[in-house]
Structure 1
Amino acid sequence: MTVSEAKKKEYYEALITKNSQYDGIFYAGIVTTGIFCHPTCTARKPKFENCLFYETAEEALIAGFRPCKICRPLSYPRDIPEEVQLLIDAVEEHPEKRWQEQDFKALGIHSATARRKFKQVYDMTFVQYARSRRMGLAFKEIMKGDKVIDQQLASGYESASGFNDAFTKIMGNPRKKENIKLLWAHFISTPIGTMLSLADEEYLYLLEFTDRRGLEREIERLRLSENFRIVPGKNHINQLTEKELQAYFRKELKSFSVPIRKKGTPFQQSVWALLDEIPIGSTWTYKDIAEKLGNADKVKAVGNANGCNQLGIIVPCHRVIKTSGELGGYAGGIERKNYLLSLEKEMVLTKKGQ
């Protein structure tokens, strides 16, 4: 989640004074070193402008920071078990790896043990940790707009030397070297977290929270679907998306005009088309949508299609809830779903009161 300016100052003061009461409350990402720390870290303290603050370790990892070896921020509130440290070291050695059962066996660790141990130490599975580290490195390269990475993407360079080719290794190259299309990747800050936008010169293809589970695979499928090469930067579509999102969160925009491209099966397309019909400030149930499609038994299929939407907020999958009135699932997290629904209700009420 986005940390307010007031909180940033509060957290920086805690970092400078090594206030132990803040351990586990926030993590400080140090831009100059690329690490993230506990507030009580004994390392030399950075300047305020070189600090970024995160309220979860996962957010710090996705932002591209690695755990500090001095304060070991992932150990709070207890020491890291030997198996967990072994896995963390293995991820740092090969951050691009997507872990399989045989990889755990090679280290002499059972995958179930790894999951349990990670959950015990901090509320994140090992798969989440490895994925966050991979995505963080890839996102970091996008944000840097490194020319070396761009050249590697163009030439198909696949060296595994160091972190410089993290973007290439994780996001991949186009399948073919001819007829390559460009997708521009741009990060957008919102009050409820950072979003990644992917757009060509005509359409927005993807708008997702960077910590969304499954985002890595979504990007991979999108990239392969039309021989896309993903490059850092923003074009007029990304810029319009950012402008409209900012207006939306200020409660000044109820509908989006940015041109979008929905990529999915015919059934998914039919579900997403109905999502566009849900009025702002209102909710429909999964059953409502299934019935509108002519088959009340397809509630589960509707839920799956809803979850496959790649255009968060703009295609309002957050407006779909359970028949019981419960919010139900949301790829961006239930807290975000609740925030968006509350925001939209306030928008409608404010308009009525004018």
Structure 2
Amino acid sequence: MLFDLPDHDTLYQALLDRDARYDGQAYVCVATTGTFCRLTCPARKPKPENCAFRATIGECIEAGFRPCKRCHPLQAAALADPAIGALLAALDERPDIRWSERHIVQLGFDLSTVRRSFKRQFGMTFLEMARQRRLREGFETLSGGGKVITAQHEAGFESPSAFRAAFGRLLGCAPGSLTRGGLLQASWIGTPLGDMIAVSSTTHLHLLEFVDRKALPAELAKLQRHAKEQVGIGTPPPTEQARAELDTFFAGQSAVFHTPLAFHGSAFTRRVWEELLTIPAGTTQSYSEIAHRIGRPNATRAVARANGANQIALMVPCHRVLGADGALTGYGGGLWRKQRLIEIERHFKSCNKDTRPHVSG
């Protein structure tokens, strides 16, 4: 098996049934609320297209989701370890604190013990958890058009420069460069598979990537070199269009994207990306098949590299490309996302149309 978790339909049924066998073994991230829950949560059940399932609490937090206040998914770990419970309570009570090792010591806890306990229970340290929570709150304000100073205060940062630096590290930008407007503007888009960053000009979408993709800072740096200026913050029309079309996609209504796209790459790389756009939703192809289709049958490895260099996830469907043996391979957003996207798109197989978005090279 490629994955430890059962398939999406099995886990969704477990959520509907509040099946206690999965309690603590899997968690559901709900795109419409931005929270994650235990599968036994008593809250009203979300639609299946708004759910993504993850194996650990750490994965849920890293994807930008907050713990549910009804089922308290962190409670089991808190009860198992008094230190975890005390620190989680302190985090809830004092969201304004910029937590550091000094604060942990002042509360009477051993740093190495706390680090091991949180890593074991959540897959991340307490300080990483605190930072994720603060940044998420600030990012939500920014992506909604709020001012940087408002986002800074809501995220609990002591100064504008500290908040800009934290946001800049994630985006790979120099501290202090993230101002509103600019030729290219970044915004956040929430999806059932985790938060994404979209970067657009006034006319085209240039980048769409999951926040936790390791190559994201390098991809943004590449865009900045192309634009000859830093990426700013804002929501140009192509980003708004992309957000609406992604909502429609995850609602199971349409796999058609009309958002105008901008490609940055060599002629060969752009040719591969253009070919990806012709793969119908609900179907897959191999790297070698694409190489043959573009008239370069001996360029399978080059096709694979071009596929991996795609900077517009989902809309340029590199997730529809498999290895020669049909195995899931080489998806920067994570193989679990690739599998889920392929599962989602089976629904669209009977209504495929050739509807390529407008592409700018």
TM-score (norm 2): 0.58
User: 1:108-160: per-residue Cα shift (whole Å, max 9, x none)?
Assistant: 98xxxx8x9876444x36699799568646634534544234899xxxxxxx8
| Aligned: 1:294 with 2:291 | no
8 Å CA contact 2:197–2:207 kept in 1: the answer is yes
Distance 1:60 1:342, change over 3 A: closer
8 Å CA contact 2:283–2:320 kept in 1: the answer is yes
1:169 alignment counterpart: 166
Deviation at 1:222, TM superposition (A): 5.0
8 Å CA contact 1:181–1:229 kept in 2: the answer is yes
Deviation at 1:203, TM superposition (A): 0.9
Q: How far apart are the structure 2 equivalents of 1:351 and 1:39? A: 34
Q: CA RMSD in A?
A: 5.7
8 Å CA contact 2:178–2:231 kept in 1: the answer is no
Deviation at 1:251, TM superposition (A): 4.8
Equivalences for 1:135-154 in 2 at 5 Å? 136=136, 139-143=139-143, 145-149=145-149
- Equivalenced residue count is 308
Q: Which SS does the other structure have where 1:256 is aligned?
A: coil
| Aligned: 1:316 with 2:317 | yes
Identical aligned residues as a percent: 26
8 Å CA contact 2:199–2:207 kept in 1: the answer is yes
Equivalences for 1:1-354 in 2 at 5 Å? 24=24, 25-26=26-27, 57=57, 58-63=59-64, 73=74, 76=77, 120-122=120-122, 124=123, 136=136, 139-143=139-143, 145-149=145-149, 161=158, 165-171=162-168, 172=173, 173=175, 180-190=182-192, 192-210=193-211, 212-214=212-214, 216-218=216-218, 220-221=220-221, 224-225=224-225, 226=227, 227-232=229-234, 234-291=235-292, 292=294, 294=296, 296=298, 298-299=300-301, 301-349=302-350
Deviation at 1:240, TM superposition (A): 1.7
Q: Give the AA of the match of 1:166.
A: F
Deviation at 1:313, TM superposition (A): 1.4
* Structure 1 gaps, min length 5: 15-19, 41-52, 97-106, 153-159
User: 1:141-199: per-residue Cα shift (whole Å, max 9, x none)?
Assistant: 534544234899xxxxxxx836884344332357699x942414142434x44433222
Q: How far apart are the structure 2 equivalents of 1:205 and 1:297? A: 26
Distance 1:281 1:184, change over 3 A: same
8 Å CA contact 1:81–1:117 kept in 2: the answer is no
Q: Which SS does the other structure have where 1:206 is aligned?
A: strand
Deviation at 1:259, TM superposition (A): 0.7
8 Å CA contact 2:195–2:210 kept in 1: the answer is yes
Q: How far apart are the structure 2 equivalents of 1:54 and 1:348? A: 21
Q: How far apart are the structure 2 equivalents of 1:282 and 1:182? A: 33
User: 1:13-65: per-residue Cα shift (whole Å, max 9, x none)?
Assistant: x9xxxxx9886354899xxxx9999999xxxxxxxxxxxx9965333344375
TM-score (norm 1): 0.59
Deviation at 1:228, TM superposition (A): 3.4
8 Å CA contact 2:178–2:230 kept in 1: the answer is no
Q: How far apart are the structure 2 equivalents of 1:120 and 1:108? A: 14
* Structure 2 gaps, min length 5: 1-7, 41-50, 101-109, 354-361
- Say which is worse superposed, 302-311 or 57-66, in terms of deviation: 57-66
Q: How far apart are the structure 1 equivalents of 2:67 and 2:352? A: 46
